Structure 1
Amino acid sequence: MKILMLSIFAPHFFNWTKQLEDSGHEVYWLDVFDSNTKVRQIDFVEQITGWRYKWDFPGRYFLKSNAPGITRFINIFNERNFEKQLQKEIRRIRPDMVHSFVMYLTGVPALPVMQEFPRIKWAYTAWGSDMYYYRNQPKHLAGIKKTLPKIDYMFADCNRDYSIAKELGFKGKFLGVFPGGGGFDFSKMDTFIRETDKRNIILIKGYQGLHGKCIEVLKAIQIAEKHLKDYRLVVFGAAPEVFDFVKNSFLKEFGNLEIYGKLNHQDLMKLMGQALIYIGNSSSDGMPNTLLEAIVMGAFPIQSNPGGATAEILEHGKNGFLIEEPEDTKEISSLLLESLNNSELIEKAVCWNSLNIKPELERERVKERVLQAYKSIEKDL
C-alpha cells in the first residue's frame, strides 16, 4: 500500500512512522511546514521537504527574525501553497491512503484537496489537545466539523478523543488507542531503573503556557516546602516562564531544586528511572507521553486529567493520583504529601503498573497492533 503521511517535523511522528519500516508499505512524508531537513531515523521514507520556498535566499532567517513584516511581503511571492503542493504530490505518488497527523495542522488544511480525490482512503491521528481543546475554539471547530465526516479511519492516544470525534461528525472506522509515538524500547530503558526504596527524586514536567501548568506545581512545592528537604526536586523541559518564576520567588533559595530546559531522551530516562514521584500538570492534553514513560520507568504518577483522558489508565489512589483541578495548588500539594506519607501505596502502585500497564507499552507489541490496523485499511481498498 502506498501511504502519504502529512505531518509537521515532530519526534512523535518519526517514532510512529519507524514502525512501518520493512512492513511492505511504500511510505511518503510531506513535511507540511517544511523544515527543509531530512530525518535519518525514517530514511526508508521518501521525505518531501524543501518545497515551500521558491527561492531560499541568503539572510532569509535573519530577515524573518528581525523584519517579519518584510518577510510576510516577500512570502506573498516566494512561498508555495500547501494545497497545491499536496495536490501535486497526490497526482505524482497516487497513494492508496493519506494519513493526517493532528486535525488543525494537516486535516483541515488538506480537506479541499482530499475532496478532489474521493477514492483515496483518508486516515487521521489525534494527538494531545487536538480534539479536546480545539473543539472549543470557534474558528477551529468549524473546520473540524467539515473535515471529520470525510475521514475514513481514526487513530487516537485516548478513547476520549474518539468520543469527541463522533460527537463532531466522524462516521468512519476507529482503529484503536495507541501511544502517540508508538511503544517503548525497554532494552534501552530498563537499565536506568532503580528499586523504589533507592529513589529520592520528585520529577516535574516543566511545560508552561497555553496548556502547561508547571508553575502551579511549583507553588504547591512552596506550600509543602518543609516536608521536601530530603528529596531532589527536578524540573525538566522548563519553559522560560518557569525559570523566571523561580528566579523571582523564594524557590531560588531551595538548595535541592534543579531546573533544566530541554533534555535528550536518554538523560530524561535516567531521571525517570531515579524518580520516586512524577508530576505532570496541564489544562488540556491527550494521553501524555511523559506519563507513559514515567510508568514504564517505575515512578509513581501524579497527573492532571483533562476530560478524563488520564483516568483511562490511572485509577485515583490505586496506581497513581489524578489532579482534577490543574490550577488548584492546594490540591496538588495535598496529593504530593499524601503520596510521600504512604510508601505502601507507592510500592503497590508501581508494582501494579509494571505488571498491567508496562507490558502493553512495549514497542514490538504496539508495533504489531499498528501494522494490523494498517493491514485492515489495506483490506478495504
Structure 2
Amino acid sequence: MKTKKKIFFVIPTLSAGGAERVISFVAQELDREKFDVTLIIIGFEKDNKYDVSSIPVVYLNKSRVLKGAFPLLIMFQKEKPKMVVSTISNLNVIMGLISVFFSNVIFIGRHTFIIKNPSKNIETKKTNRSKIKSTFNYWNYGNKNLDYFICQSADMKQSIIDVYGIDSKKISIINNPVTQTEIIKNNSSQGAVKKYITIGRISEGKGYIRILEILAKLSFPFQYTIIGEGAYYDIVFSKIRELGLNDKVNYIRFTNNVSEYLVDHDMFLQGSYSEGFPNALLESCAVGTPVIAFNVPGGTKEIIEDGINGFLVDNDDDFLEKLNDNREWNPEIVRESVYKKFNKNKIISDYEKFFIEISD
C-alpha cells in the first residue's frame, strides 16, 4: 500500500472570498486514501466564513501574512510535507522565498488574477524608484522559486509567463469547480419587475460604476441586488444616489445563502475589467440563472456560451442591448453548460492527477 502524500494548503484567512472558498473545498474533497491533508490559516478562526470541519486545520493567529512566515518555516521543518499549496499573490511570494530551505518539498502557487501591471502588485506605495525596483525583484524572485503554478484560465497562465518569465511547463490550468448542484431555478422568471444581481468584492476593478450607469438607462422596472463588501463602497453608493437609483438597489454585505439569492434573480451582471475565473458568475450559471458579462481578460469567456447561458458583450451599448433582450432562458440548459465542464468530480480529479504526477 502506497504511503499517503502529505499536503499542506496554506491560505491567509477563511474570510469571504473566491480563493478561500475554492481552496477550502478542494482540501476537503481530495481522496483521503491518497492524500494526508492539513489546512493552515495565517489568520484567526473568528474570521471563518466557511465550514472546514472535515479536515485538520491549524490557525497561526497572525494579523498579516508576513508574520506567518517564521511559524510556517518551523512547521514545515517539523512536519515535512511532500507538497505545499498556497494561494493569493503575496503569500505565494513568501512561500517561494521559504522554499529555498526545503529542497525536498514541492511548492505550488495557485494564482488568482490576471497581471496587467506588475507595479500594482506592490502593496506598499513607494516614491523612491530604487525601492520600487527592489520590491519588484523580490516578487519576481519569490514567484520564480515556486516549483509549479496552478492557474484557472488560459489568460491567467499567459500573464504569468509574460510578467514573470515562468516556464510554461511549470504552469497547469485547473478551472474552479461548481460546488453547488442541489439548487436550480424552476423556470425562467418573466415577472413585471426584472431582478438583477451582482456578487463580489466592491472594488474599482469589479466595474460596479459602469453597471449602474447602464442600468440607469433602462426604461422598464427593475431591482438590482449587490452582495459584497470592499473599499469602493462609498464611491459606488454615491453613484447610486447620483443616478437616482436608491429605490432600485438592494445591498447585502455578506450571506452564506448565495445560491438562494441567485435562484431568486433573473440575471447575473458582471462589470469586471478582468477576472481570473469568476466564481460567482459560475455559481449563477450552476443554479440556472443566466449572465451578462464584458469580454475581458481572464476566464469569463471560458464559462459563457453566448446565447446558451448568457451573453458576452464588448461595450456598454452592447450590454444595454442585451438587458433589453427579453428572451426566455432554460435553467436546465444554463446549468448543464457549466456542469459538464466544471463539475466538482472532474475538477477534483484534475487536482489529484496533478498532485500525483508532480510528486511521483
TM-score, normalized by length of structure 2?
0.79
1:299 matched residue in structure 2:
289
2:106 matched residue in structure 1:
121
Matched AA of 2:213? K
2:72 matched residue in structure 1:
86
Partners of 2:290 and 2:299 in 1: CA distance: 18
Is residue 314 of structure 1 aligned with residue 304 of structure 2?
yes
Partners of 1:150 and 1:36 in 2: CA distance: 30
Is residue 367 of structure 1 aligned with residue 357 of structure 2?
no
Counterparts of 1:321-340 in structure 2 under 5 Å?
321-324=311-314, 330-331=316-317, 334-340=318-324
2:271 matched residue in structure 1:
281
* 1:318 to partner: Cα distance: 5.8
Partners of 2:282 and 2:206 in 1: CA distance: 17
Go from structure 1 to structure 2 and tell me whether the alpha carbon gap of 1:133 and 1:25 turns closer, same or farther (over 3 Å shift): farther
1:100 matched residue in structure 2:
86
* 1:135 to partner: Cα distance: 6.5
Partners of 1:5 and 1:183 in 2: CA distance: 20
Q: Secondary structure at the match of 1:92?
A: helix
Partners of 2:62 and 2:255 in 1: CA distance: 29
Larger Cα-atom Rg: 1
RMSD: 3.1
Counterparts of 1:50-89 in structure 2 under 5 Å?
50-52=60-62, 81-89=67-75
C-alpha deviations, 1:148-179, integer Å up to 9, x for none?
Answer: 33222222221111112223222243333221
2:237 matched residue in structure 1:
243
Is residue 196 of structure 1 aligned with residue 200 of structure 2?
no
Partners of 2:29 and 2:118 in 1: CA distance: 28
Partners of 2:302 and 2:36 in 1: CA distance: 34
* 1:7 to partner: Cα distance: 0.9
1:142 matched residue in structure 2:
137
Go from structure 1 to structure 2 and tell me whether the alpha carbon gap of 1:7 and 1:320 turns closer, same or farther (over 3 Å shift): same
Work out which of the residue numbers 325, 337, 344 in structure 2 matches 1:356.
Answer: 337
Work out which of the residue numbers 38, 55, 63 in structure 2 matches 1:28.
Answer: 38
Go from structure 1 to structure 2 and tell me whether the alpha carbon gap of 1:354 and 1:5 turns closer, same or farther (over 3 Å shift): closer
1:261 matched residue in structure 2:
252
Partners of 2:307 and 2:66 in 1: CA distance: 53
Q: Secondary structure at the match of 2:101?
A: coil
The structure richer in helix per residue is 1
1:5 matched residue in structure 2:
9
Q: Check whether the contact 2:197–2:269 (CA below 8 A) recurs between aligned residues.
A: yes
Q: Check whether the contact 1:183–1:365 (CA below 8 A) recurs between aligned residues.
A: no
* 1:352 to partner: Cα distance: 5.1
* 1:114 to partner: Cα distance: 0.7
2:325 matched residue in structure 1:
341
1:166 matched residue in structure 2:
161
TM-score, normalized by length of structure 1?
0.75
Partners of 2:47 and 2:199 in 1: CA distance: 29
* 1:2 to partner: Cα distance: 1.2
Partners of 1:198 and 1:364 in 2: CA distance: 34
Partners of 2:157 and 2:200 in 1: CA distance: 28
Q: Which moved more, 1:303-312 or 1:114-123?
A: 303-312
Go from structure 1 to structure 2 and tell me whether the alpha carbon gap of 1:108 and 1:148 turns closer, same or farther (over 3 Å shift): closer
Q: Which moved more, 1:243-252 or 1:133-142?
A: 133-142
Partners of 2:39 and 2:9 in 1: CA distance: 5
Matched AA of 2:13? F
- Aligned identity (percent) is 14
Partners of 1:355 and 1:338 in 2: CA distance: 22
Partners of 1:299 and 1:80 in 2: CA distance: 40
Q: Check whether the contact 1:222–1:251 (CA below 8 A) recurs between aligned residues.
A: yes
Go from structure 1 to structure 2 and tell me whether the alpha carbon gap of 1:293 and 1:141 turns closer, same or farther (over 3 Å shift): farther
Go from structure 1 to structure 2 and tell me whether the alpha carbon gap of 1:294 and 1:163 turns closer, same or farther (over 3 Å shift): same
C-alpha deviations, 1:82-123, integer Å up to 9, x for none?
Answer: 33222211111111111111222x111223321111221111
Go from structure 1 to structure 2 and tell me whether the alpha carbon gap of 1:206 and 1:157 turns closer, same or farther (over 3 Å shift): closer
* 1:134 to partner: Cα distance: 4.4
C-alpha deviations, 1:275-319, integer Å up to 9, x for none?
Answer: 222101122321110110111122221113332532223255564
2:206 matched residue in structure 1:
212
Work out which of the residue numbers 17, 21, 40 in structure 1 matches 2:27.
Answer: 17
Between Structure 1 and Structure 2, how many residues are aligned? 331
